[in-house]
């Protein structure tokens, strides 16, 4: 995916424990070994010095239930980062399976050079005003969450932003999936194991349960 956040490995969080210098490993975004990850796609909306803007961020993760927190990892030179740094808020719109064109336009153009909102509106994409923050949200997304920034920290070559969800809604639409450099749609769910196998697993677990 172009122009959006990629995998990061955070070995130690405020513990002082990390890899020795000669053990560290730098990986490129297109390294084939990293293509085993499967992610959804966040469309991050913001408003600030660069006006209303939207970017594509593969690294968009829900990291806490109570409080509900969403984490982004983006570059410090992105227009979106500069907007969020100023406004302390952002929208997270999880792309629906039919929004791959929107994702591509958002991910291959910079908000510093292109008014992506106007481009997308002319192509028929609809936005609506967020209820509790001063930004736009994307109509037809799989999920929409309005967030207030509570933490910002540089991690490796990206900035980690954590926002507290203050408003959220979702649709029945399946999310767009990103894997191995391609967009995917969810298929049929895998069947659950048969009861006979589940019963056998329970017996084995009981056998090795610690006293």
pLDDT tens-digit map of 130-154: 999 999 999 999 999 999 999 999 9
Report the C-alpha gap between 72 and 60 in whole angstroms.
5
Q: How far is CA 80 from CA 5, 8, 66, 110, in A?
A: 12, 19, 26, 9
Q: What percent of the chain has pLDDT over 70?
A: 86
Q: How far is CA 103 from CA 27, 117, 127, 158, in A?
A: 24, 12, 14, 20
Question: 59-70 in b/e burial notation, b at 16+ Cβ within 10 A?
Answer: bbeeeeeeeebb
> What does the pLDDT average to over 171-198?
92
Is pLDDT above 60 for 19? Answer: no
pLDDT band per the 50, 70, 90 thresholds, residue 9? very low
pLDDT band per the 50, 70, 90 thresholds, residue 81? very high
Please report the domains of the chain, with CATH numbers, ordered by start residue: 21-207 (2.30.110.10)
DSSP 173: P
Secondary structure (3-state) at 163: strand
Secondary structure (3-state) at 32: helix
* Stronger pLDDT, 117 or 180, i.e. the higher one: 117
Using DSSP bridges, classify how beta strands 158-170 and 143-155 pair: parallel, antiparallel or unpaired.
antiparallel
pLDDT tens-digit map of 49-73: 999 999 999 889 999 999 999 999 9
* Res 20: pLDDT: 52
């Amino acid at each position: 995916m172009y122009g959006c956040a990629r995998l990061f490995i955070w070995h130690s969080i405020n513990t002082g424990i990390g890899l020795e210098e000669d053990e560290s490993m730098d990986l490129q975004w297109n390294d084939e070994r990293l293509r085993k990850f499967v992610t959804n796609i966040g469309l991050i909306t913001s408003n600030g010095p660069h006006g209303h803007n939207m970017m594509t961020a593969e690294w968009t993760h829900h990291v806490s239930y109570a409080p509900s927190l969403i984490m982004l990892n983006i570059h410090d030179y992105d227009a979106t980062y500069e907007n969020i740094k100023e406004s302390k808020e952002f929208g997270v719109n999880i792309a629906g399976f039919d929004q791959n064109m929107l994702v591509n336009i958002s991910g291959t153009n910079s908000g510093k050079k292109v008014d992506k909102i106007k481009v997308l509106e002319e192509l028929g994409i609809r936005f609506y005003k967020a209820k509790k923050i001063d930004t736009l949200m994307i109509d037809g997304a799989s999920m929409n969450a309005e967030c207030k920034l509570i933490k910002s920290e540089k991690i490796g070559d990206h900035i980690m932003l954590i926002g507290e969800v203050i408003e959220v809604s979702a649709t029945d639409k399946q999310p767009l999936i990103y894997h191995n450099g391609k967009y995917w749609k969810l298929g049929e769910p895998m069947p659950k194991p048969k009861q006979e196998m589940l019963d056998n697993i329970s017996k084995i677990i009981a056998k090795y349960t610690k006293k």
